[in-house]
Amino acid sequence: MEIVGEVVLEKVIGELIKPIFDGGKKAAPFDEILKRVKSILKLIEPTVHKIKQLSGERDRPKEESEKQLIQLYEEGKKLIQEKHSAHWLFKKGKNKGKITALYESLHLLFQVSMPLEQLKTSREILDLLQSQLKSGTGEVSGQIELLGSGACYAPKPPAFTVGLDVPQREVKELLLKKSVVVVSAPGGCGKTTLVRKLCQDPDVKGKFKDNIFFVTVSKVPNIKLMVRKLFEHNHCRVPEFQTDQDAIIQLEQLLKKQAEKAPVLLVLDDVWGGPDIRVEPEFPFQEFKNFEIPECRILVTSRYEFGSFGSAYKLDLLHGEEAMTLFRHSAFPTDGDFMLDKDFKDLVKEIVKRCGGFPLALQVVGRSLSGLPVAIWKSTLLEWSEGQFILESGEGLLDCLQSSLASLNDKLKECFMDLGSFPEDKKIPVTALIDMWAELYKLDKNGVHAISRLIKLSLQNLLNLVVTREGATEVEGCYDDAFVLQHDLLRELAIRQSSQEPMEERKRLILDLSGDKLPDWWTEETQPCIKARLLSISTDEMFSSSWCDMQVPEVEVLILNFQTRENNYTLPEFMKRMDKLKVLVLTNYGFSIPELTNFSVLSSLPSLKRIRLERVSVPTLCNTMLELKNLEKITLVMCKINQAFNSSAIQMPNLKEINIDSCNDLVGLPEWLCDLVQLRKLSISNCHKPSTLPEGIGRLRNLEVLRLHACTKLVGLPDSIASLRNLTLLDISGCFRMRELPKQMGELCSLEKLYMRRCSRLRELPPSIMRIKQLEVICDTEKAHLWEDHNFTNLRIDETTDLNWLV
């Protein structure tokens, strides 16, 4: 291996320096020769140091060409260093001759001596290989075997690991049941360490014996090289592969042959893949699934979840004492932390908490603080609280996580970075993301494309997509109970990626304010003009709502996240000049529900299309004469809205969608709502006071979706509902006080889906409803007989339990 490495090294040196000599074939002035000598010395300097180092480590004599190279290098460095000295000037002519002679010697070395020595060495290697391969014995044969097969042996796991015993047992059980097992997690969570431990497991080694093959795939795989190594590992003649597909076919035959001896375990570590990724060429993992080898198991580690292979085993982060144990091992490698006083131990606990159970973060941060004074530990924690990135605490952490983004296409990367606009450790409503992306990226307004992007990011382990109520998203276009959760380090990565450009040029500006402490640029008399399309401002409960002016003329999405001890929250005055603002997302994360003040600024926003308010009290609007002529959608979640809805001064002629969720003070819908003739969707869920709907609801002639989910006191629907000829979906699930449906239900000629689970008091159906031929009904077993008695066949039974209405 050493000889082969030297041959390659000499070849590389020759290729690097060849252009310099090619340019000097013709006679050149001295200054040009001096310049070329400097370039050659700079090129060969790392190689000279490496030769010296290897000679010392291996205690072997240098080759003749190596001696010449070192001698010429040292002579040249000495001449160059003396160039500006008086000694040089005194003997200028003589030294010019030395430089020219040095150049010619280097030329001779690289053009003649080295190629000849390389040819001689290559011939010796070839003769040696042929003789030893024939005999199959001897020292060189052992070295050749190591060269070919060593790369496919499973590397030993680290001597110290934490939290992998249970995953090791569970993945081992999966290997006995499934032909392909995928272990998935973000980078730095210990996937490779887990499978290395598994390969050393006595049960696994007992089953697969010597047929455990470990191959690292990486971001840009070389399929032919991987398969070549597996053939060499098994001492088989390596076929000539015409294509990657041919190599995979040959690999299948090899594994079949090996499986005749013992079961085969093929470990593919660090596989990249999935929809909408940049990695080229993509690893043809699907082909491995098609191997027809009963005694072959394939174990994969990946940041991506391969849905075609069933659900992946998701390696969890560390929790509690496990996280602390790993951190202690890195921060206190020799004597532990048992000597620390209570205050220092509390400091350690807080730092471990901020690492969020991320194994790589715990190790990197621990190593970076190991042996340092307590003051630096405290300073580090303080810097984190002031906005410095934990990702930059030590070498390797940022690179590991950032590499996950390299596989995303631009569209997914932009969506990932948008997630940093929301506070850490908080659920991000999917409906808020749908609103944002519909305007920023022109995605469809029903959320199908937005959900697709979230699923793809989830499959890359860059977020967790959760639904708080089982079956909640079964209603088309309804994502009220769907949320995104993201690890704090991944959120930090999103913010860091968004902050790479100068502030004035950023696409999104994310401000996380502590108290009334504002960035310096915000309080300057001459502010920079911000070109961001997305502005996110988060404030804590110490913020006084004293907004400074801000120049943000290009903002299309404004996200305000806040906590407050006050009884009100004031919208910033600078919003009045946001002529391009299309989406407002305002969320209160505090305990109390403050009243919004300065609400009238919204009437100054000509482009505003979507408003989402959560946990705020919407004020009386009768004195505001609020005009929202271009507003298309309004979402109110856990808000106090009764006083606002009693107003008749709201003008929203283009409103197409209203979503009201868990607004407990809503007694009934105002009559003016029935004049919103452009309304397409009306969703009222988990509101427990309304008992009736206004009779004028029949005037909403364009209404397509009516959701009255878990309106527990609603006793019925008005007869005028029969006028909704464009209604395609009606959801009355959870309306368990509803006793009957209007007799004219059959006039809903466009109705396609009726959801009516947990309508326990509904005793009969209007006969007219059976005239709706295209209707599909989703109900529970209790009410199925109502439809079966009428020989209704397009029926779907759903027993999903939903207790959200109890909250």
213 and 152 in contact (C-beta within 8 Å)? yes
Confidence of residue 807 (pLDDT cuts 50, 70, 90): very low
Residue 291 clears pLDDT 60, i.e. is over it: yes
Backbone angles phi, psi at 587, to 5 degrees: -130, 130
Say how far apart CA 432 and CA 614 lie, in whole Å. Answer: 11
User: With b meaning 16 or more CB within 10 Å and e meaning fewer, what string describes 38-49?
Assistant: eebbeebeebbe
Q: What is the dihedral of CA 746, 712, 666, 656, to 10 degrees?
A: -40
Mean pLDDT of the chain: 82
User: With b meaning 16 or more CB within 10 Å and e meaning fewer, what string describes 342-359?
Assistant: eeeeebbeebbebbbbbb
pLDDT: which is higher, 75 or 800 = 75
Q: Across-strand partners of 659?
A: 635, 683
Q: Across-strand partners of 512?
A: 538
Residue 151 clears pLDDT 90, i.e. is over it: no
Radius of gyration of the chain (CA): 35
Q: What is the pLDDT of residue 1?
A: 41
Q: What is the 3-state secondary structure (H, E, C) of 649-661?
A: CCECCCCCEEEEE
Q: What is the pLDDT of residue 140?
A: 41
pLDDT: which is higher, 171 or 242 = 171
When mean pLDDT is compared across 37-41, 468-472, 752-756, 781-785, the lowest value belongs to: 468-472
H or E stretch covering 148: helix 139-149
Backbone CA torsion sign across 379, 382, 384, 390: positive
pLDDT tens sequence across 620-652: 765 555 678 899 999 999 999 877 777 665 678
Q: Across-strand partners of 180?
A: 298
Say how far apart CA 538 and CA 625 lie, in whole Å. Answer: 29
Residue 4 clears pLDDT 60, i.e. is over it: no
The DSSP result for 160-203, as a single string, is ---S-HHHHHHHHHHHHH-SEEEEE--TTSSHHHHHHHHHT-HH
**Mean pLDDT of the 181-210 span:** 91
Report the candidate in 481, 476, 485 with the shortest Cα–Cα distance to residue 803. Answer: 481
Q: What is the pLDDT of residue 113?
A: 65
Report the candidate in 355, 373, 356 with the shortest Cα–Cα distance to residue 365. Answer: 355
Residue 287 clears pLDDT 90, i.e. is over it: no
- Range ranked top by mean pLDDT from 210-214, 542-546, 556-560: 556-560
Q: What is the pLDDT of residue 17?
A: 55
When mean pLDDT is compared across 252-256, 428-432, 434-438, the lowest value belongs to: 252-256
CA neighbours closer than 13 Å in the CB half-sphere of residue 363? 16
Confidence of residue 749 (pLDDT cuts 50, 70, 90): very high
Say how far apart CA 535 and CA 239 lie, in whole Å. Answer: 58
704 and 730 in contact (C-beta within 8 Å)? no
393 and 532 in contact (C-beta within 8 Å)? no
Confidence of residue 772 (pLDDT cuts 50, 70, 90): very high
Residue 25 clears pLDDT 50, i.e. is over it: no
Q: What is the pLDDT of residue 5?
A: 45
686 and 692 in contact (C-beta within 8 Å)? no
Residues in the chain: 807
Q: What is the pLDDT of residue 503?
A: 86
Q: What is the pLDDT of residue 793?
A: 86
Matching residue, tokens 């929202």: 628
Q: What is the pLDDT of residue 6?
A: 46
pLDDT: which is higher, 392 or 6 = 392
Contact residues for 298 (Cβ-Cβ < 8 A; gap 6+): 179, 180, 181, 265, 266, 267, 268, 288, 289, 291
pLDDT tens sequence across 58-67: 444 556 677 7
Q: What is the pLDDT of residue 638?
A: 94
103 and 110 in contact (C-beta within 8 Å)? no
Q: What is the pLDDT of residue 150?
A: 44
Contact residues for 139 (Cβ-Cβ < 8 A; gap 6+): none
The DSSP result for 477-534, as a single string, is T--TTEEEE--HHHHHHHHHHHTSS-GGG-SEEEEEEBTTB--HHHHSSS------SE
Confidence of residue 718 (pLDDT cuts 50, 70, 90): very high
Residue 276 clears pLDDT 70, i.e. is over it: no
Matching residue, tokens 């006679």: 27
The span from the first CA to the last CA of the chain, in angstroms, equals 70
Q: What is the pLDDT of residue 142?
A: 37
Residue 761 clears pLDDT 50, i.e. is over it: yes
Q: How far is CA 408 from the centre of its chain?
A: 9
Q: What is the pLDDT of residue 7?
A: 44
Check whether the bond before 767 is cis (ω within 30° of 0).
no
Matching residue, tokens 């996280």: 323
| pLDDT above 70 coverage of the chain, percent | 81
Helix (H, G, I), strand (E, B) or coil at 716: coil
pLDDT tens sequence across 95-108: 677 778 878 787 77
Query: For residue 142, with 0-12 CB atoms within 10 Å meaning exposed, 13-18 middle and 19 or more buried, which class applies?
Result: exposed
Query: For residue 470, with 0-12 CB atoms within 10 Å meaning exposed, 13-18 middle and 19 or more buried, which class applies?
Result: exposed
Report the candidate in 177, 170, 200 with the shortest Cα–Cα distance to residue 313. Answer: 170
797 and 779 in contact (C-beta within 8 Å)? yes
Q: How far is CA 381 from the centre of its chain?
A: 25
Residue 802 clears pLDDT 50, i.e. is over it: yes
pLDDT tens sequence across 378-422: 888 888 887 778 887 766 788 888 888 877 889 999 999 999 999
Q: Across-strand partners of 595?
A: 568, 617
Tokens of 700: 């909403």
**Mean pLDDT of the 593-601 span:** 90
- Range ranked top by mean pLDDT from 144-153, 156-165, 397-406, 440-449: 156-165
Q: What is the pLDDT of residue 385?
A: 80
Sheet with 428-429: list strands edge to edge: 428-429, 482-485, 464-467
Q: What is the pLDDT of residue 669?
A: 87
pLDDT tens sequence across 488-536: 888 989 998 998 888 888 999 999 998 888 888 888 888 888 899 999 9
Tokens of 538: 């988060």
CA of 551: how far to CAs of 507, 517, 554, 599, 700, in Å? 15, 18, 9, 20, 40
pLDDT: which is higher, 643 or 583 = 583
Q: What is the pLDDT of residue 58?
A: 46
Q: What is the pLDDT of residue 144?
A: 38
- In this structure, the strands spanning 595-597 and 313-314 are unpaired
Tokens of 724: 């909704």
pLDDT tens sequence across 433-471: 999 999 999 987 778 889 989 988 988 888 888 887 654
Tokens of 496: 């860091």
**Mean pLDDT of the 676-700 span:** 93
Confidence of residue 114 (pLDDT cuts 50, 70, 90): low
Say how far apart CA 675 and CA 666 lie, in whole Å. Answer: 19
- In this structure, the strands spanning 428-429 and 482-485 are antiparallel
Q: From the DSSP assignment, how many helices (H) and strands (E) are in the chain?
A: 25, 23
Confidence of residue 712 (pLDDT cuts 50, 70, 90): very high
